[in-house]
């Protein structure tokens, strides 16, 4: 019923794939860094167009996001074993949220992309997002805002998505595995709960992931530079006497690079009063400024959603010493 096996192993894949995994003996890499690392801070028009025209497998990112998040929750019951288990759990959550960011930020180019977004939205939905009609509504304003941002981050435009699989006919068999939707993470990822899958050397490799800490200041600088590039290309596209489509496509590529850099800066934790903390505050200001621009709504909503979700990582990284952001966002939804 699915093209994907229910592989519970979290060892990196043998070949560097769409999620940035490396060989089984190598280190575990940041998925967003793997996707964007080949593009420098001063890309050519051709590089931006090629990046926008690439076709990442968003279904694979959605699968990896759920696998890592589920495994992080399984490790909760082993935290007493030492700090390396705690760091492995944080690493899994960073990778999970990074893969989720990729699904949310990348535009819908194909039906498969739309399926991945809808599946990821379902897997990460907030409690209260779909209250039964028999229950009285009881949302507070903060949760309601988070639900709206979550919906906007994964919005695909339902009119472009085909209907789900046909219901079984009277003579059909295989009802126990009949697909419930076009792409369902429950059918592709082992069920939540149970014992942790990683241990020993693999646990240490996941623990070491957080040692490769990115410079959040550099990431925020990259966001600002790529956004400026996208804005300038859009102006040029509106004034050129030649075909404006390559300029617009390159602008989309630059904007994608900007928001993926912003996602990394949003997800990774920062210590209070550090340069990284200052970078996070600057990111909030820059993202707020984009509320009046023509950036895609799902990209603006995605960063707001990620900053909120990253607070859970910050709490677990070093409680009381790690920055937790509660921005006053300009409304976009």
pLDDT in tens, 132-157: 666 667 778 888 899 999 999 999 87
**In the predicted model, what is the mean pLDDT of residues 87-109?**
96
CB 230 within 8 A of CB 52: no
Where is average pLDDT lowest: 17-21, 71-75, 173-177?
17-21
Give the model confidence (pLDDT) of 188-197 as tens digits.
Answer: 888 788 788 8
Residue 17 has pLDDT above 50, yes or no: no
Average pLDDT, the chain: 88
**pLDDT confidence band for 3 (50 / 70 / 90):** very low
> Could you identify the residue written with the tokens 């410079």?
215
Q: What is the pTM of this model?
A: 0.88
Per-residue H/E/C for 127-195: CCCCCCCCCCCCCCHHHHHHHHHHHHHCCCCHHHCCCCCCCCCCCCCCHHHCCCCCCCHHHCCCCCCCC
pLDDT confidence of residue 139: 78
pLDDT for 206: 93
Q: What is the pLDDT of residue 1?
A: 34
How far, in whole angstroms, is CA 39 from its chain's centroid? Answer: 19
Q: Is the pLDDT of residue 207 over 60?
A: yes
Q: Which of 63, 82, 83, 85 has the alpha carbon at shortest distance from 74?
A: 85
Residue written as token pair 């646990």: 203
Distance CA(215)–CA(198), nearest Å, equals 28
Which stretch of 104-113, 124-133, 324-333 has the lowest confidence by average pLDDT?
Answer: 124-133
Q: CA triplet 250, 252, 253: central angle to 5 degrees?
A: 65
- Digit-coded pLDDT (tens) for 149-190: 999 999 987 666 777 888 899 999 999 888 888 888 888 888
3-class secondary structure per residue, 277-308:
HHHHHHHHHHHHHHHHCCCCHHHHHHHHHHHH
Name which of 131-135, 214-218, 299-303 the model is least confident about: 131-135
What integer is the mean pLDDT of 215-224? 98
Q: Is the pLDDT of residue 30 over 80?
A: yes
pLDDT reported for residue 128 = 67
Name the β-bridge partners of 271. Answer: 322
CA distance 275 to 271: 8
- Residue 118 and residue 113: Cα distance in Å, rounded? 9
Region 24-32: mean pLDDT is 80
- Of 25-39, 110-124, 256-270, give the lowest mean pLDDT range: 25-39
For residue 198, give every residue at least 6 positions away whose Cβ sits within 8 Å of its Cβ, in sequence order, or none: 10, 71, 75, 88, 206
Give the pLDDT band of residue 108 (cuts 50, 70, 90): very high
CB–CB of 265/227 below 8 Å?
A: no
CB atoms within 10 A of CB 3: 7
């Amino acid at each position: 019923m699915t093209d994907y096996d229910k592989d519970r192993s979290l060892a990196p894949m043998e070949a560097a794939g769409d999620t940035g995994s490396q060989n089984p003996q190598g280190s575990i890499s940041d998925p967003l860094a793997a996707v964007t690392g080949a593009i420098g801070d001063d890309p050519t028009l051709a590089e931006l167009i090629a990046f926008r025209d690439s076709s990442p497998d968003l279904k694979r990112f959605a699968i990896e996001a759920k696998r890592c998040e589920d495994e992080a929750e399984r490790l909760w019951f082993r935290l007493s074993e030492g700090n390396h288990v705690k760091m492995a759990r944080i690493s899994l959550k960073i990778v999970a949220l990074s893969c989720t960011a990729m699904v949310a930020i990348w535009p819908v180019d194909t039906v498969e992309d739309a399926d991945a977004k809808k599946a990821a939205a379902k897997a990460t939905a907030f409690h209260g997002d779909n209250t039964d009609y028999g229950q009285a509504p009881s949302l507070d304003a903060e949760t309601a805002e988070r639900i709206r941002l979550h919906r906007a981050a994964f919005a695909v435009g339902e009119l472009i998505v085909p209907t789900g699989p046909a219901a079984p006919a009277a003579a059909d068999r295989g009802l126990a595995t009949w697909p419930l939707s076009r792409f369902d993470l429950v059918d592709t990822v082992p069920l939540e709960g149970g014992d942790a899958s990683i241990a020993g050397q693999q646990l240490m490799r996941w623990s070491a992931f957080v040692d490769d800490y990115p410079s959040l200041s550099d990431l925020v600088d990259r966001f600002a530079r790529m956004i400026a590039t996208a804005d300038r290309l859009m102006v040029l596209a509106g004034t050129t006497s030649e075909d404006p489509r390559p300029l617009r496509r390159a602008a989309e590529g630059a904007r994608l690079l900007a928001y993926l850099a912003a996602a990394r800066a949003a997800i990774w934790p920062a210590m209070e009063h550090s340069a990284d903390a200052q970078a996070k505050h600057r990111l909030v200001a820059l993202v707020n400024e984009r509320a009046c621009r023509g950036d895609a709504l799902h990209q603006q909503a995605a960063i707001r959603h990620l900053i909120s979700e990253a607070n859970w990582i910050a709490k677990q990284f070093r409680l009381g010493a790690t920055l937790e952001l509660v921005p006053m966002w300009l409304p976009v939804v």
